[in-house]
Amino acid sequence: MTDFTHTRADFPDDFLFGVATSAYQIEGHGFGGAGRTHWDDFAATPGNVVRAEHGGRACDHYHMWEQDLDLIAAAGFDIYRFSASWARVLPDGRGAVNTEGLDYYDRLVDGMLERGIKPALTLYHWELPSALADLGGWRNRDIAGWFADYTQILCERIGDRIWSAAPINEPWCVGWLSHFMGAHAPGLRDIRATARAMHHIGLAHGRATQVMRGLGMGNLGAVCNFEYALPLGESDADRSAAQLYDGIYNRWFIGAMFKGAYPADVLEGLAPHMPKGWQDDMATIRQPLDWLGLNYYTCKRIAHDPASAWPQLSEHVGDLPKTQMGWEICPNGLAHFLHFVGEYAGTLPLYVTENGMANPDTPEQPDHARIAYLNAHLDAAKTAMAKGAKLKGYIIWSLLDNYEWSLGYEKRFGLVHVDFESLQRRPKASYQALQQALART
């Protein structure tokens, strides 16, 4: 069996290892009285999702959660980063509460604590209730208030037992990927919608953080995704395009959350489309936080595209070895960001809140490629720590093979193989290697 290059003993005593999932991707949204989400609508529209697959059954974690928590505990993970579904708690996004949904999250959190696992909650991992999408979803400023109310209801019930919480997973995906690139629900390609969503996401983050502080919760953070932007060619134009891509992807949200300011280069393009009075919200967006989480997977080659409208750039894939997603394997980028975010997060603890790879795994084939990927990224993390990065934990995406959004169930990110017919779980070689590496000696 291929081993991990590092074991737990190579990291500081308080360094934590974890595994992550999200509600819509594993729970089975058709169970337990959850409301319809914009992902159900997106998947039901031809051309959006491979084979029109949706999260109706997914991994049926809703019924199999005990078995899944046992897998997390048996591997020796310290943290389980999970998310709650807004539409499971409030089927219409506001108004009537689905008590079955609250009971479910209550049981799930108790189940983690019983097994000695730290619950790391994400409040929103993309399953917007359809009823709120009808009202404009993230384009509507009122979403910040709706999200704050949902936060209050959920955290009044489970907040007392949560180890850490973050409001919104990967704001760039919620804003840019979903409203500008049209690749995720609601599938828009509209700059005005994008600017509004990119601002209201920050506002909702700020309001939810205030609510959780008000309830006495601690260890509150933000989880942003980062992609290492490299110029495609040597020209100044490509260099500037990569810099702008970096601003949109990597600096917009942390700029607002940690400095109360959007990056000037990005604002130049988005300002004409921003909602009126956005400047007055910056203090709410910039809430004191306790940590920053980085989701990191890959790099991207960026070129200037003079023929297109702002931001006048095109995305390319380079020659590095790739994962099943077609994403280049580029651990240098992780090391880069672990230093770069210090400019925003100062001395706050950092966590890698997602890192991992999709691989066309079968139960019979050991996933050596995943072990190598994780090794390379742990090496990069270790090197960054030696140079002063404040990294306190590393969380792998994902525990289980699951619903990879518009790519359906084909792309397998799990440490545990899931047969989507029988729902049988089978730990992969990477799970077993991690179990060895994490064992306390």
Binding positions for ligand IFM, 98-117, rule CB under 6 A: none
For residue 314, the cross-strand partners are: 303
What is the distance between the alpha carbons of residues 63 and 27, in angstroms, rounded to a whole number?
8
For residue 164, the cross-strand partners are: 120
- Whether cis (ω within 30° of 0) applies to the bond prior to 275 is no
**From the CB of 178, what's the least distance to ligand IFM, in Å?**
12
Counted residue by residue, the chain has a size of: 441
**From the CB of 83, what's the least distance to ligand IFM, in Å?**
9
Measured N-to-C along each axis, helices 368-386 and 331-340 cross at an angle, to the nearest 10 degrees, of 30
Residue 138 or 413 with smaller CB distance to ligand IFM: 413
Please check whether residue 297 is in contact with residue 268, taking contact to mean a CB–CB distance below 8 angstroms. no
**From the CB of 404, what's the least distance to ligand IFM, in Å?**
5
CA 412, 414, 420, 424: dihedral to nearest 10 degrees? 150
Q: Across the chain, how many H-helices and E-strands are there?
A: 18, 11
127 binding ligand IFM? (CB under 6 A): no
- The correct pick among 17, 22, 168, 227 for binding ligand IFM (CB under 6 A) is 22
Q: How many CB atoms lie within 10 A of CB 265?
A: 16
Q: Given 127, 170, 227, 354, which residue is catalytic?
A: 354
In angstroms, what CA-CA distances link 128 with 3, 86, 112, 123?
40, 7, 25, 11
Longest dimension (CA), the chain: 60
What is the distance between the alpha carbons of residues 152 and 214, in angstroms, rounded to a whole number?
9
What is the distance between the alpha carbons of residues 143 and 204, in angstroms, rounded to a whole number?
7
Residue 328 or 354 with smaller CB distance to ligand IFM: 354
Residue 135 or 183 with smaller CB distance to ligand IFM: 183
**From the CB of 403, what's the least distance to ligand IFM, in Å?**
8
Going residue by residue from 23 to 52, which x/- string records binding to ligand IFM, judged by CB under 6 A? Answer: --x---------------------------
Residue 285 or 294 with smaller CB distance to ligand IFM: 294
Binding positions for ligand IFM, 252-311, rule CB under 6 A: 295
- The correct pick among 227, 354, 361, 367 for binding ligand IFM (CB under 6 A) is 354
**From the CB of 164, what's the least distance to ligand IFM, in Å?**
17
**From the CB of 358, what's the least distance to ligand IFM, in Å?**
7
Cα angle, residue 89 at apex, residues 85 and 91 outer, rounded to 5°: 95
3-class state of residue 425 by DSSP = strand
Residue 20 or 198 with smaller CB distance to ligand IFM: 20
**From the CB of 351, what's the least distance to ligand IFM, in Å?**
14
- The correct pick among 397, 401, 409, 416 for binding ligand IFM (CB under 6 A) is 397
Residue count, binding to ligand IFM (CB under 6 A): 8
Query: Helix, strand, coil shares of the chain as percentages rounded to 5?
Result: 45, 15, 40
- The correct pick among 404, 409, 412, 430 for binding ligand IFM (CB under 6 A) is 404
Residue 170 or 367 with smaller CB distance to ligand IFM: 170
- The correct pick among 27, 60, 170, 328 for binding ligand IFM (CB under 6 A) is 170
Residue 21 or 140 with smaller CB distance to ligand IFM: 21
Is there a catalytic annotation at residue 156?
no
Please check whether residue 296 is in contact with residue 226, taking contact to mean a CB–CB distance below 8 angstroms. yes
What is the distance between the alpha carbons of residues 437 and 391, in angstroms, rounded to a whole number?
19
Q: Which amino acid is it at 93? A: G
**From the CB of 304, what's the least distance to ligand IFM, in Å?**
27
Residue 173 or 211 with smaller CB distance to ligand IFM: 173
**From the CB of 168, what's the least distance to ligand IFM, in Å?**
12
Residues 6+ apart with CB under 8 A from 237: 304, 306
What is the distance between the alpha carbons of residues 132 and 38, in angstroms, rounded to a whole number?
9
Residue entry with tokens 């990119």:
198
In angstroms, what CA-CA distances link 215 with 148, 166, 321, 421?
12, 14, 47, 42
Residue 72 or 358 with smaller CB distance to ligand IFM: 358
Q: Active-site residues: which are they?
A: 354
Residues that bind ligand IFM (CB under 6 A): 22, 25, 170, 295, 354, 397, 404, 413
